[in-house]
C-alpha cells in the first residue's frame, strides 16, 4: 500500500467487500419493495431497471415473441391496438410469434426462419414459463435459460433490432400437466422469480430494455384474491394462461418497458374566457355554451364494462395496475369554474364532478368506460385480432408445414400476400373521431 493510503480507504474497501458478499460471489443488489406479508418472505426480487426514455422509433416493426401465453393473442393484441390508436404518430407495425409449449431454446432455433426474415427493428420476448420446467429451481434450469436468452438477445441485436426482455409471469396454482407431484405453488414461483432476476442481469449486461411481468402478476394475484376471493385468478384458471385481467397486467409491463408515457392528450376549457383548446393530436372545431366539438386523431384505450370482481375483462385488469394513470390519460381541465359542481357529458354518458376535480384534471379515459371512441376503437381492435390470428397460421401451419419445408422463401412470399390485406385493414379502420364534450353547472 502506498503512503497516501488512509484508514478511511481501508474501511471503504472492507464495506464494499461485505456489500458484495465475497462468500457468495455476488454483489448485493437492491430489491423490489415487498408487501408486508409473510406470503412474500422467501422472494428476493431484484429491483427492475427503469426504462430509459421511449424505446420506440417512428416506423418501428415490432416482433412480439413468446410461448402459449403469447399465442393466446391477448396481451399482444392489447399492445398492437394500443400502439395503433394511442400513439399513431409513431407508425409502429407489429407481428406476434407466440408458439404453444415453447421454451427460449425453441425460439432460438426458429427465430431466423420465422422472425428475423421480416426484419424487426424492435422485439419483446416472454419466455421462462416452460423453461422453469414446472418444478423447483435447479442451477441447470437457470444456466440453460441464461445461455439461450443471451443468444436470443444477441441475435436480435446482430440483426439490428432493439430488445425489451420480458420476464416470465407467475403461476396461480400447480398446473395439471406438472410432472413433479410434490411441488408447491411457492416453489414454482420462486423458480420463476429466479428466472426474472436472470432476465434483469442479462438486460443490464446487454444494455437492453426489461419488462417486469412476474412481480406485478404475483403481487396483484395475492391482493386480488384477498379482495375478490380465490376464484379471481390473475395467472389464469389453469394457473398459467391468464384471462383478460392478467393479460392487461402483461401488456402494461411491456408498454411500460417500451417507455411509453401514456399522455393521450388534454382538453382545456376556460369558463371565464369561454375558450377551449386541445393538445397535439386533437383539434377543437368549435366551443359554444359549454360544448366543445373536437376532432381527435389519437384515441384513448377503450374497454367497456365488465365486473371488476371477475378476471375475465379488461376493465378489471386496468384496476390491478395503474394502466389508466400511467398509460391512458386523456385529460379534461376546467379553469375558473363558477359553480360547485358540473355535469360532464361525453357522447351519450354524463357524470358529475366537483369544480375542484375539474380544475385538478379528470381522466376521461378512466371515468367513461363507454365513450365516443368506443365503436371506432373496436373496429381497429377487431382488425388487429384478425391479423394476429392469421400470423399464428402463417408461422405454425405454413412455415412449418409441407409448403415451408419444401420452399421457405416462396412460402413466405405467398403468405405475405395473404397477410397484406389484413395489415391494410387495420390502417383503413383507423380514422379520426369527431366528438362533443359538454360542461354544464349543476
Write down the domain spans for the chain: 263-373+433-441
Residue 378: Cβ-neighbour burial (10 angstroms; 0-12, 13-18, 19+): middle
Predicted pLDDT at 12: 42
Predicted pLDDT at 24: 39
Q: Where are the beta strands (DSSP E) in 281-393?
A: 282-288, 291-296, 329-335, 341-346, 349-354, 362-363
Block means of pLDDT (10 residues each) for the chain, 442 residues, are 44 42 50 93 96 96 98 98 98 98 98 97 98 96 98 98 98 90 93 98 98 98 95 97 98 98 98 95 96 98 94 97 98 96 96 97 97 98 98 96 95 97 98 97 96
Kindly state the greatest CA–CA separation across the chain.
Answer: 81
CA atoms within 13 Å, Cβ hemisphere of 18:
6
Going from the C-alpha of 155 to that of each of 106, 112, 254, 316, the distances in angstroms are 14, 9, 20, 37
Contact between 435 and 375 under an 8 Å Cβ cutoff? The reply is no
Instruction: Tell the residue number behind the cell numbers 378489471, with chain if given.
Output: 316
* pTM of this structure: 0.92
Predicted pLDDT at 359: 97
CA distance 63 to 76: 10
Contact between 247 and 317 under an 8 Å Cβ cutoff? The reply is yes
Predicted pLDDT at 179: 81
CA distance 235 to 364: 29
Q: In what order do the strands lie in the sheet with 362-363?
A: 275-278, 263-270, 329-335, 362-363
Residue 106: count other Cβ atoms within 10 Å of its Cβ: 16
Q: What angle do CA 225, 229, 231 make, to 5 degrees?
A: 90
Contact between 300 and 331 under an 8 Å Cβ cutoff? The reply is no
Which helix or strand (DSSP H or E) is residue 15 part of? helix 7-20
Contact between 321 and 262 under an 8 Å Cβ cutoff? The reply is no
Amino acid at each position: 500500500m502506498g503512503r497516501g493510503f488512509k484508514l478511511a480507504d481501508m474501511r471503504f474497501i472492507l464495506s464494499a467487500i461485505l456489500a458484495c458478499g465475497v462468500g457468495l460471489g455476488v454483489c448485493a443488489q437492491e430489491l423490489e419493495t415487498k408487501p408486508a406479508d409473510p406470503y412474500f418472505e422467501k422472494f428476493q426480487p431484484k429491483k427492475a431497471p427503469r426504462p430509459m426514455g421511449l424505446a420506440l422509433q417512428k416506423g418501428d416493426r415490432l416482433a412480439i415473441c413468446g410461448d402459449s401465453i403469447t399465442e393466446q393473442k391477448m396481451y399482444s393484441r392489447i399492445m398492437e391496438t394500443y400502439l395503433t390508436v394511442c400513439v399513431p404518430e409513431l407508425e409502429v407495425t407489429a407481428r406476434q410469434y407466440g408458439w404453444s409449449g415453447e421454451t427460449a431454446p425453441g425460439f432460438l432455433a426458429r427465430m431466423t426462419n420465422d422472425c428475423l426474415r421480416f426484419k424487426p427493428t424492435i422485439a419483446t420476448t416472454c419466455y421462462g414459463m416452460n423453461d422453469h420446467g414446472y418444478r423447483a429451481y435447479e442451477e441447470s434450469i437457470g444456466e440453460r435459460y441464461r445461455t439461450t436468452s443471451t443468444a436470443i438477445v444477441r441475435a436480435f441485436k446482430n440483426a439490428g433490432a432493439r430488445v425489451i426482455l420480458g420476464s416470465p409471469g407467475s403461476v396461480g396454482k400447480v398446473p395439471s400437466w406438472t410432472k413433479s407431484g410434490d411441488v408447491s405453488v411457492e416453489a414454482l414461483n420462486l423458480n420463476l422469480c429466479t428466472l426474472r432476476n436472470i432476465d434483469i442481469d442479462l438486460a443490464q449486461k446487454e444494455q437492453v430494455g426489461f419488462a417486469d411481468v412476474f412481480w406485478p402478476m404475483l403481487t396483484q394475484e395475492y391482493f386480488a384474491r384477498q379482495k375478490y376471493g380465490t376464484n379471481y385468478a390473475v395467472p389464469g384458471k389453469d394457473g398459467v394462461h391468464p384471462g383478460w385481467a392478467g393479460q392487461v397486467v402483461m401488456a402494461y409491463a411491456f408498454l411500460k418497458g417500451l417507455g411509453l408515457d401514456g399522455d393521450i392528450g388534454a382538453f382545456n376549457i376556460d369558463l371565464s374566457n369561454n375558450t377551449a383548446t386541445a393538445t397535439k393530436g386533437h383539434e377543437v372545431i368549435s366551443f359554444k355554451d359549454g360544448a366543445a366539438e373536437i376532432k381527435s386523431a389519437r384515441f384513448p384505450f377503450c374497454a367497456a364494462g365488465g365486473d371488476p370482481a371477475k378476471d375475465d375483462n379488461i376493465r378489471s385488469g386496468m384496476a390491478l395496475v395503474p394502466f389508466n394513470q400511467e398509460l391512458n390519460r386523456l385529460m379534461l381541465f376546467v379553469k375558473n369554474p363558477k359553480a360547485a359542481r358540473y355535469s360532464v357529458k361525453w357522447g351519450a354518458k354524463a357524470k358529475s364532478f366537483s369544480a375542484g376535480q375539474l380544475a385538478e384534471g379528470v381522466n376521461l379515459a378512466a371515468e367513461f368506460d363507454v365513450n365516443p371512441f368506443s365503436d371506432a376503437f373496436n373496429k381497429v381492435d377487431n382488425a388487429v385480432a384478425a391479423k394476429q390470428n392469421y400470423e399464428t397460421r402463417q408461422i405454425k401451419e405454413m412455415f412449418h408445414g409441407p409448403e415451408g419445408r419444401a420452399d421457405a422463401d416462396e412460402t413466405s412470399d405467398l403468405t405475405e400476400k395473404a397477410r397484406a390485406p389484413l395489415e391494410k385493414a387495420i390502417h383503413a379502420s383507423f380514422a379520426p373521431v369527431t366528438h362533443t364534450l359538454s360542461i354544464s353547472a349543476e
